[in-house]
Homo-oligomer: A and B are copies of this chain.
Amino acid sequence: MSQGSVSHTALGPGGEFDRIRAVLKRLGLRAASSGDDCALVTIGDQHLAISTDLAIEGTHFRAGWLRPDEIGWRAGAAALSDLAAVGATPLGVLASVGAQLDWPEEFLADLMEGVGAAAHAVGATVWGGDLVRSERLVIDLMVVGRADVPVLRAGARPSDGLWVTGALGAPHAAVRSWEEGREPDAGARERFAHPVPRVTEAHWLRDSGATAMIDVSDGLVGDAGHLAAASSVKCVIESERVPVHGAADAPHDALVSGEEYELLATLPAGFSTEDATRFEEQFGLALTRVGSVRDGSGVLLLEASHPVDVPAGFRQFD
């Protein structure tokens, strides 16, 4: 990886994921990494955003990290965050679940109550689903929303500011704790177990002129890379500006922590800190300018105005 930049193709371990993604793109599919993609389709006069988000035990979570209702909430929130990322209004969820038949009834009831709670929290309904036998727990959620005025990744313009909601780094800290055999800090655990799709926040940003938007699912630097590639611009991130969650282990975790489901948006240069204060007062959530958009490509990471390497440890949990 060259100094101070990360390319769009630096997503998957060993490049294998990109190879597979290339295959799907060759077939004309809008396949993307988990959690940051919607298909935008028009049916009759209805403009819809539709997305699917597949979570598999062992890949996306370990048994024992979370309670069943938390696994359900998290899967629901991750899928619904795809809708938030384009400024869509969630309508419904379909849930496909693969599970062992001898698990207790309560497990599946709790799991689906978590999915339902995440849906209801953003005004959506669970429309139905499918249930099959599987050795490992598999949850695939398909979400449908109304997207009359979608905000895409592709609209960022040089001179826009780069803004992020919330504070980052806690999910990364939670996963690290579990992987090291420790129970995470309560605050970090809560951010991992109960991410919140930023649906109304996304509407506010759209109505305030957001030119591009994405949810932070692969990590701030990684998702800024997606946005830069889609918009054919360079995203400059001033690392000292990045809001670090109180439960994060280290400031640089905020740059790489994935599955945050906060929003990364580009807003016109005229969007001010006073505007951000209005957002914070309305939602009780920080909105922080972390950098800006320039001509070029990729992500430029600055510390005290100097380009620096993308921090080691950049990986997606997925």
Contacts and interface: CB of A to CB of B under 8 A. Distances in A.
B131 A33 contact: yes
A278 interface: no
A21 B109 CA distance: 10
Contacts of A27: 109, 112-113, 116, 126
A101 B59 contact: no
A62 interface: no
Contacts of A56: 98, 132-134, 138
B51 A98 contact: no
A176 interface: no
Interface string A16-51: 110111111011111111110111010111101011
Interface string A104-126: 01001100110010000000001
State how many copies of this chain the complex holds. Answer: 2
Interface residues of A, number: 73
A229 to B, nearest CB: 17
A59 B129 contact: no
A54 B20 contact: no
Contact of A31 (B19, B28, B131): B131
A50 B94 contact: yes
A136 B133 CA distance: 13
B138 A138 contact: yes
A318 interface: yes
Interface in A264-318: 318
A108 B43 contact: no
A64 interface: no
A21 B132 CA distance: 10
Contacts of A60: 132
Contact of A140 (B32, B33, B54): B54
A128 B45 contact: no
A232 interface: no
A127 interface: yes
A318 B133 contact: yes
A16 B309 CA distance: 54
A92 interface: yes
Given A20-B99, A54-B130, 17 more contacts: A23-B105, A24-B131, A27-B116, A31-B129, A39-B94, A43-B46, A43-B144, A52-B129, A52-B130, A53-B96, A54-B96, A56-B138, A94-B142, A130-B140, A135-B136, A138-B140, A142-B142
21 contacts: A13-B101, A14-B101, A20-B108, A20-B131, A22-B105, A23-B109, A23-B112, A24-B129, A26-B109, A31-B128, A34-B131, A39-B92, A43-B144, A52-B140, A53-B96, A53-B130, A54-B138, A59-B133, A98-B138, A134-B138, A140-B142
